[in-house]
Amino acid sequence: MNASKLLAAPAGFARRVFVWSWKELRERLPVVIGILVALPLLYVLAITTFATHLSTAPADKLELTLAGITLLLVWFGLAGDTLAGEVMGGGPSLVRRQPHGMLSLFVAKLLVLGAVTLGLAWYAQYVFSWTWQVLAREPLPASAARTFQDRLANGTNAGLMMTWLALPLLSWPLVTGAWIGRSGAASLAALLLVLGIGGGALAALHGVPWLLGWSWTETVRNVGLGLGALGVLAALASWTVGWSRQRRAFTPALVGALVVVVPTLAIGGWAYADYRAWSTLRVDQDLRIAEAYLGRDGQSIWAMVHKGVAYADGKPIGYYRDLPGAVGVYGSQRGTPVQAWRIDLVTHQIDVLNGGREGGLLPPPSTNSTHRVGSPEPLGPFPVMTLRSGSTDWETLDITWYDTASSTPVAQLPIFFRDGRVDALLTAGLREMATQRDAEGNRVWVRDGELEREGAERPPRTRIERVPTYANIPWVPIPGGWVHGVRGGVPAGRNFRSTITTVDGESYDLGQHAGIAHYFLDATTILERKIIKTEGGRRSGLVISDLRTGDELARYESPPWFAPSGIPGRLLRGLSVDGHMVLRLWDPITDQLEPVTWLGPSPDLAPEEQASLFGMQGPGGRQVLHLTAHPPHPRGASTRQVGMAVFDPVAKTARLVLDHCLDVRTYFGLDADDSIVAIEDCRRIVRHGPEVGQREVLFPFSDEGAGR
């Protein structure tokens, strides 16, 4: 008995919905038939006139166009009159007197509108395909090796896949149709409402795309679904509340407007508050450090900081999309634009550069190019720093120059342009960073593609001038000189000769060695990885030759692991002796070894293990070494991290600083006591060493509670 009463109400409601749906479908049938007839006629006209152009159009755009035409016909032909027709007649007086009659009629109209829209969307795509086969000789456009018909059959048709967007949008003519008695006016008013609310939301997300972690497809989908839910609620309130007791349009309009305005203002207020919270970068647990550089004063760090994902723009992105050495991070990620900060480690003062606008710090042009042969970019400090604007247009890109001892800009000029202020700043910086010395002990460096010598610097420019194009060809330092005209180990251009230039100014062609060089012992001697003939066949070996004469000086069929030492004619090798790793300076021409003294404990190395080294140049020619060990057999066996050490080529000493290896992208500084400065977990700047196990958080500062 009770169960039958509980089921009676839903059954009665479903019966009323079915009856009203059938009645609604019969009333809309003439308009539906008109659309069914109009679509083939439109297609015949379009195909006979523009078949050639349509055949070469992108398939997805053609499919979306067909879906858009169908949506417009339904919008103005059906949706606008669904409730407006009832309003024009003074409202459904009979339904108003029935219990829950207004609700059941609304649900019936919504169901019919949705079913008709889906049916017409499929009909529009299939009819176009059939009409094309009858009238056109050209093939329909294909996408991803699938024809128009295949995409339609397997459900990958872009127009059908976007039909979900039409369904929620069609609720808005129901909203305005409950306010306005004329279908045409209701359709136009609904279009204005959708553009005002949805367009405003998309515009806001375009201005601050990191506000929500959505890709563009997700943004359109979520905004569309949100609009649809809001439209259904507003139409339901306008119809069931506004027209249940009165026939005047003012009450339905007021009720529906309140439903639209209140959620819109609430969501807008939340979005603004969220924008304010995310647009202000503070030293808190959400702050991330993308990259950092040391200033020449030894107490400042120039860092690029953000929240969330760096350079997030609301779509699947690469983590450093505008920077070399990118690390791919894919998926919908939320983040803020990147700001440049100068952090004073002594005074704990933070200066936000570029007015807090997005920008990118770049190390200045130097003789130490990121395209080095044999060694990566040397560790700081950098006397000079540049900041580029957020623009990606090279014609309008500005560069701001700084002396790293201060956050006050020295000059702001278009990219590739210099003046006297920048020349003086850059010359002083290159002099301070110079690692090359001539026979008299004077520092030698390269500026704008020309050698400069300490005490004989070229005078600064007297006006703003563009840097010559050849000055952008990298000069890569090698012991005793530079190799230039080479990018990443290959010649920079067909019309540019790859050459070697010594610190004394002597130059000669690099010739055929340009593309296969592995390391330079000095400005005259090169080591190359080559396929050489041996008694056991052909294998990879090491050949050492004189660049000037072409004579072969030595070769190794099974070359050992080695790293650059910073000493001309010498390389570093790691050997296992009595369970410890020992470092030796190796002369590959004579195969002689010289000892290197460990300052403190030496790392362990099993007798059967071999040591491999990777070096990065630091201040004063010191090398930061990654120490790894691996068994000699089988080939390709996994390696074991031994730690990181600092090698001093002058004293011929080494110090173990870490018992593990840091990612090469995270450490950026080397102190005078051999401590390594690194970014840890994208959250902290940490000093490791000089003893193994020593660790000090430099930033965030401990007095701010974020240094742990």
Q: Which residue has the higher pLDDT, 179 or 656?
A: 656
Shared-domain flag, residues 615 and 642: yes
Give the pLDDT of residue 321.
37
Q: Which residue has the higher pLDDT, 70 or 349?
A: 349
Give the pLDDT of residue 658.
94
Give the domain-ending residue among 216, 249, 279: 279
Shared-domain flag, residues 463 and 490: yes
Distances, alpha carbon 188 to alpha carbons 19, 35, 183, 194, 226, in Å: 30, 19, 9, 10, 20
Is 100 within the bounds of a domain? yes
Give the pLDDT of residue 368.
42
- Please tell me the distance from the alpha carbon of residue 178 to that of residue 595, in angstroms, as a whole number: 92
- Please tell me the distance from the alpha carbon of residue 146 to that of residue 59, in angstroms, as a whole number: 10
- Please tell me the distance from the alpha carbon of residue 510 to that of residue 521, in angstroms, as a whole number: 14
Shared-domain flag, residues 268 and 293: no
What are the tens digits of pLDDT across the range 230-281? 888 888 888 787 776 666 677 888 888 888 888 888 888 888 887 777 777 8
Shared-domain flag, residues 614 and 499: no
Model confidence, pTM: 0.69
Give the domain-ending residue among 257, 279, 301: 279
- Least confident range from 109-118, 177-186, 584-593: namely 177-186
For range 451-460, the mean pLDDT: 90
Shared-domain flag, residues 237 and 318: no
Tell whether the model's pLDDT for residue 95 goes beyond 80.
Answer: no
Is 447 within the bounds of a domain? yes
Phi-psi region of 264 (alpha: psi -120 to 50; beta: other; left: phi over 0): alpha
Give the pLDDT of residue 257.
84
Tell whether the model's pLDDT for residue 558 goes beyond 90.
Answer: no
Is 37 within the bounds of a domain? yes
CB 510 within 8 A of CB 483: yes
What are the tens digits of pLDDT across the range 517-549? 568 888 888 888 777 766 666 667 888 988 888
Is 148 within the bounds of a domain? yes
Distances, alpha carbon 112 to alpha carbons 33, 108, 115, 593, 627, in Å: 15, 6, 5, 88, 72
- Please tell me the distance from the alpha carbon of residue 706 to that of residue 56, in angstroms, as a whole number: 58
- Please tell me the distance from the alpha carbon of residue 25 to that of residue 35, in angstroms, as a whole number: 14
Tell whether the model's pLDDT for residue 466 goes beyond 60.
Answer: yes
Shared-domain flag, residues 149 and 235: yes
DSSP 436-465: EE-TTS-EEEEETTEEEETT-PPPPPSS-E
Tell whether the model's pLDDT for residue 390 goes beyond 70.
Answer: no
Q: State the total domains in the chain.
A: 3
Is 539 within the bounds of a domain? no
The CA radius of gyration of the chain, in Å to the nearest whole number, is 36
Confidence of residue 317 (pLDDT cuts 50, 70, 90): very low
Is 520 within the bounds of a domain? no
Give the pLDDT of residue 8.
57
- Find the domain containing 612 and state its range: 569-704
Element (H, E) at 571: strand 571-577
Cα angle vertex 399, ends 498, 424, to 5°? 75
Give the pLDDT of residue 675.
93
Element (H, E) at 125: helix 101-135
Cα angle vertex 615, ends 614, 619, to 5°? 165
- Please tell me the distance from the alpha carbon of residue 434 to that of residue 366, in angstroms, as a whole number: 9
Strand partners, 443: 437
For range 195-199, the mean pLDDT: 83
Give the domain-ending residue among 249, 279, 309: 279
Is 121 within the bounds of a domain? yes
For range 137-150, the mean pLDDT: 72
Shared-domain flag, residues 201 and 298: no
Give the pLDDT of residue 695.
94
Shared-domain flag, residues 264 and 316: no
Shared-domain flag, residues 619 and 673: yes
Give the pLDDT of residue 300.
92
Strand partners, 626: 614, 644
Shared-domain flag, residues 244 and 310: no
Q: Torsion over CA of 501, 505, 509 and 510, rounded to 10 degrees?
A: -20
What are the tens digits of pLDDT across the range 476-513? 788 888 888 754 444 444 445 678 889 888 888 877 66
Shared-domain flag, residues 260 and 293: no
Shared-domain flag, residues 235 and 311: no
Is 669 within the bounds of a domain? yes
Element (H, E) at 563: strand 563-564
Evaluate the omega torsion of the peptide bond into residue 459 and state whether it is cis, within 30 degrees of 0: no
Q: What is the mean pLDDT of the chain?
A: 78
Tokens 């902290």 belong to 684
